Amino acid sequence: MGNAVQTLEQLEQQVKMLQSKESALKRLLEVEHILEATFDLRKLLNSIVSFAAELVEAEKGFLVLKEDEKDELHVEAGYHLRENAVDSSFPLEQCVCAKAFQSGDPVIVSTSHQESLKRFVTREEHFRPIDRSDCEFACTPLKTRGRIIGMLVVVKGADATPFPKTSVELLELFAGQAAIAVENTRLLRQVASTTRSIIATSIRALEARDPYTRGHSDRVAVMCEQICRKLGLPEEHIETIVNAAKLHDVGKIGIADTILHKSEMLYEEEAGIMREHPLVGVRLLEATPLLRQEALLVKHHHEHFDGNGYPDGLSGEHIPLGARIIAVADAFDAMISDRPYRKAMSRAAALAEIKRMSAVELDPNIVSSLIALESGQPKV
């Protein structure tokens, strides 16, 4: 009888364990979709840590990445960490996960088993993610193509039950997926940044051929950044808008110089070709997935606030905010630059003209920001 009860209990325990494994595996599959859909590296790393911590019921967690060639780790993301812990750096040998880096396998570090952990705990200035109350650390290497790119560490406090073997197995499975997602996102960002530099260089070369447009896109980008800051936009939006501003006329690359540099009025057919440039720009940028946001702003930088612009005739707030900002900076810089058919306008005269265009071609709110910025500028 005693044996039968014991077997039943064991069976129940096994069923429970399998159930928890099943639900954890289901969550693993769910999170794979999230990993595939995120191009934002910081968001991706935060999702990885919080998911890993929740998966194995840890109290805290953090993710460190290792810089190539350097023996230094950088805390990229954290879950329930103290303030300022994220973004700190420290030498690899001072990390609780140093052993896992060496072996390439998951390692559980426990304060009760490892006297040496004290040196990590006490040297808070070097290793902020760790507290004295932390008791057990499951360190799982993030490996791609045989290389360890970083470490996923989840942490339990003194009163918690230790990490079971199944947790370590789950973390290892998850870390495999997470490492691929991190590497892919890094590669995509690299591709996007190289593409951006190539396009920006081509634009500079295009503008340099014409003394009237030399440096135009870079000046528009600087002005866009100032307007964005005046409007109090979040940093990631500013980055996208500034990048799009540098590339806004990329579609002009394919337009013949005879049209591009013509000093007289364009014939209808030539004007039609010029009006194509936002769409040509989109086609060039859309091929790179991480430039899609910028492509959208490039597409709409000639829309008018009243709906009479091109290519889609969008109006008001239907025009993406970044495109409305680029439109204002683009118009203002064109006015204060020499053109083949007229001399540059003074900043004051250009500002008066911009005011006339407010609510017709340009967003009145952004025009106000430009006016406010200009009122702080020395008058020319």
Output 76 or 207, the one with its CB closest to Fe ion: 207
At CA 75, angle to CA 69 and CA 78, rounded to 5? Answer: 150
By the 8 A CB rule, do 335 and 350 touch?
Answer: yes
| Dist CA 213 CA 150 (whole Å) | 46
Encode 152-174: b = buried (16+ Cβ within 10 Å), e = exposed. bbbbbeeeeeebeeebbebbbeb
CB of 304 to Fe ion, least distance (A): 13
Q: Which residues pair with 72 in a beta bridge?
A: 91
* Least Cβ distance, residue 251 to Fe ion (angstroms): 8
CB of 282 to Fe ion, least distance (A): 12
Question: Nearest approach, Cβ of 234 to Fe ion (angstroms)?
Answer: 26
Q: Toward Fe ion, which CB reaches closer, 21 or 283?
A: 283
Which residue lies nearer to Fe ion by CB, 249 or 303?
249
Residues that bind Fe ion (CB under 5 A): 249
The nearer residue to Fe ion, 59 or 207, going by C-beta atoms, is 207
Q: Which is nearer to Fe ion, 249 or 294 (CB)?
A: 249
End-to-end CA distance of the chain: 99
Minimum CB separation from Fe ion for residue 332, in Å? 13
Phi, psi of 81, rounded to the nearest 5 degrees: -90, 160
Q: Is the bond into 141 cis (omega within 30 degrees of 0)?
A: no
Output 124 or 218, the one with its CB closest to Fe ion. 218
Which of 159, 178, 162, 149 lies closest to 47, judged by CA? 178
Of 128 and 300, nearer to Fe ion (C-beta) is 300
Using the minimum distance from each CB to Fe ion, give the nearer residue, 182 or 227. 227
Q: How far is the CB of 140 from Fe ion (least distance, A)?
A: 49
Output the smallest distance, CB 360 to Fe ion, in A. 18
**What sign results for the dihedral spanned by CA atoms 339, 340, 346, 350?**
negative
Cβ-proximal residue to Fe ion, closest one: 249
Would you say 296 and 247 are in contact if contact means Cβ atoms under 8 Å apart?
no
- Who contacts 305 (Cβ-Cβ below 8 Å, separation ≥6)? 315, 316, 319, 324, 359, 360, 361, 362, 363, 364
Closest approach of Cβ 191 to Fe ion, in Å?
25
Write phi, then psi, for 233 (nearest 5 degrees). -75, 155
3-state SS assignment for residue 139: strand
Alpha-carbon dihedral angle through residues 307, 311, 312, 318, given to the nearest 10 degrees: -60
* Apex 149 CA angle, 121 and 131, nearest 5: 15
Residue 225 vs 333, nearer CB to Fe ion: 333
Rounded to a whole number of angstroms, the minimum distance from the CB of residue 236 to Fe ion is 24
